[in-house]
């Protein structure tokens, strides 16, 4: 056995390494120094906030959900906005960013995953950017390259990105007489904060948090990360239903990218918003709960274990029956009732199925609670 069998480490990308570590160092040392010496003025604070918001929404609602996953369609002024301010994140052109991201989803936690979390926190966070891996074939993003605006961004990415990230702060600085503050706070610090907002999705959101929708992949839901990254923290849901324009699927979950897309659709600037059907989301959640409850019971030494296992399987079976009935009824369009036939109307069947589902859900929750209680009593 020789070490030649392991994949050779790709060459170092010195430009990326110098840029990422250099900006991080300037932000970490320069910001406290500047704040102590000069205090925080409104020009640099406003530049930071506006750019952070514009770039953040362009990466999440634009780069990620519009381009990489095509969860909806957007009018050209919206695409242009996302391409300009998305470039300002200095996280690559949309074509390269989406190619990496599509491979991440297709091969999550595997060797081919560019930000594979099984290689550790730092690799997934930013280590992977310090190397030059084998380029991903452009066929992965052929559909995106059909858009002339995307091709324009690809061609001038560096200039657009630098123009937004440093050019805008420079102009604001010249107009307000505070070039250093605007470049440091509105420029470098903003770039670093935007960078790590995205990087934490690839690192922490594959390590810390809950997995309510699937345990097949490492992605996790974290409300804290959702607040820091414009709603992208609900990453377990996202990896389970990547075609959904929402990441925070519940109404109350903090997801500004979802709200932006929804608002754009209300004013006619976005359309064809894709959502996973509620029944499919519920089904995924129940599968995870079922597997966890089974595991819990298998470890249990309680006298009622067998009885509880049977109850769990029965509750699961009735829930599955109601869910399948609902999914098939929702798929089927109501047919016109032929004269003389006494078949139950579609709406009535749907209503009855909803009621059966509610009852099955109540029994399911009771069973889960009891399983937990038995487990705690046996412990």
CB of 141 to Zn ion, least distance (A): 14
3-class SS of residue 177: coil
Nearest to Zn ion of 79, 239 (CB atom): 239
Residue nearest to Zn ion as judged by C-beta position: 219
Nearest to Zn ion of 129, 219 (CB atom): 219
HSE of 140 in the Cβ direction (CA atoms, 13 Å)?
Answer: 19
CB of 149 to Zn ion, least distance (A): 21
The span from the CA of 176 to the CA of 164, in Å, is: 18
CB of 242 to Zn ion, least distance (A): 5
CB of 247 to Zn ion, least distance (A): 9
Nearest to Zn ion of 275, 311 (CB atom): 275
CB of 70 to Zn ion, least distance (A): 11
The span from the CA of 317 to the CA of 251, in Å, is: 28
Subset of residues 217 to 246 that bind Zn ion, contact rule: CB under 5 A? 219
Q: Pick the piece of the chain touching Zn ion (CB under 5 A) from 116-124, 214-222, 254-262, 342-350.
A: 214-222
Site track 165-204 with Zn ion (rule: CB under 5 A), x = hit:
----------------------------------------
Nearest to Zn ion of 90, 117 (CB atom): 117
The span from the CA of 161 to the CA of 164, in Å, is: 5
Subset of residues 97 to 136 that bind Zn ion, contact rule: CB under 5 A? none
CB of 64 to Zn ion, least distance (A): 6
User: Judged by CB under 5 A, how many residues of this single chain contact Zn ion?
Assistant: 1
Q: Alpha carbon 228 to chain centroid distance?
A: 12
HSE of 371 in the Cβ direction (CA atoms, 13 Å)?
Answer: 25
Contact (CB, 8 A) for 368 and 293: yes
**Structure token digits, residue 267:** 């004013």
The span from the CA of 18 to the CA of 34, in Å, is: 22
Site track 65-94 with Zn ion (rule: CB under 5 A), x = hit:
------------------------------
Q: Which residues of 310-346 are buried (b: 16+ CB within 10 A; e: fewer)?
A: ebbeebbebbeebbebbbebeeeeeeeeeeeeeeeee
- The footprint of Zn ion (CB under 5 A) covers 219
């Amino acid at each position: 056995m020789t070490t030649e069998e392991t994949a050779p480490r790709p060459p170092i990308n010195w430009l990326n390494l110098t840029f990422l570590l250099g900006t991080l160092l300037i932000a970490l040392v320069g910001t406290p120094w500047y704040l102590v010496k000069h205090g925080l003025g409104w020009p640099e604070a406003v530049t930071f906030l506006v750019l952070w918001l514009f770039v953040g929404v362009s990466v999440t609602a634009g780069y990620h959900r519009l381009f990489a996953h095509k969860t909806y369609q957007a009018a050209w002024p919206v695409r242009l906005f996302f391409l300009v301010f998305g470039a300002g994140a200095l996280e690559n052109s949309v074509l390269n960013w989406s190619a990496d991201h599509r491979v991440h989803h297709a091969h999550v936690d595997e060797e081919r995953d560019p930000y594979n979390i099984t290689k550790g926190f730092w690799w997934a966070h930013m280590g992977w950017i310090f190397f030059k891996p084998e380029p991903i074939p452009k066929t992965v993003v052929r559909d995106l390259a059909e858009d002339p605006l995307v091709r324009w961004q690809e061609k001038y990415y560096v200039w657009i990105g630098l123009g937004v990230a440093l050019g805008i702060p420079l102009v604001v600085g010249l107009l307000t007489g505070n070039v250093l503050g605007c470049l440091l706070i509105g420029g470098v610090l903003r770039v670093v904060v935007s960078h790590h907002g995205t990087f934490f999705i690839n690192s922490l959101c594959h390590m810390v948090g809950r997995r309510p929708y699937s345990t097949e992949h490492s992605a996790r839901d974290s409300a804290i990360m959702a607040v820091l990254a414009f709603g992208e923290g609900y990453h377990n849901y996202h990896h389970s239903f990547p075609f959904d324009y929402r990441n925070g699927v519940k109404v109350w979950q903090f997801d500004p990218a979802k709200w932006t897309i929804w608002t754009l659709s209300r004013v006619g600037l976005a359309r064809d918003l894709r959502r996973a059907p509620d029944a499919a989301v519920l089904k995924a959640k129940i599968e995870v709960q079922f597997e966890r409850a089974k595991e819990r019971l298998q470890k249990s030494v309680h006298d009622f274990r067998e009885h509880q296992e049977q109850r769990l399987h029965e509750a699961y079976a009735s829930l599955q029956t109601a869910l399948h009935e609902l999914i098939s009824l929702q798929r089927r369009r109501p047919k016109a009732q032929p004269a003389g036939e006494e078949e139950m109307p579609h709406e009535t069947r749907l209503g009855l199925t909803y009621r059966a589902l509610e009852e099955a859900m109540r029994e399911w929750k009771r069973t889960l609670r009891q399983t937990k209680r038995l487990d705690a009593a046996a412990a």
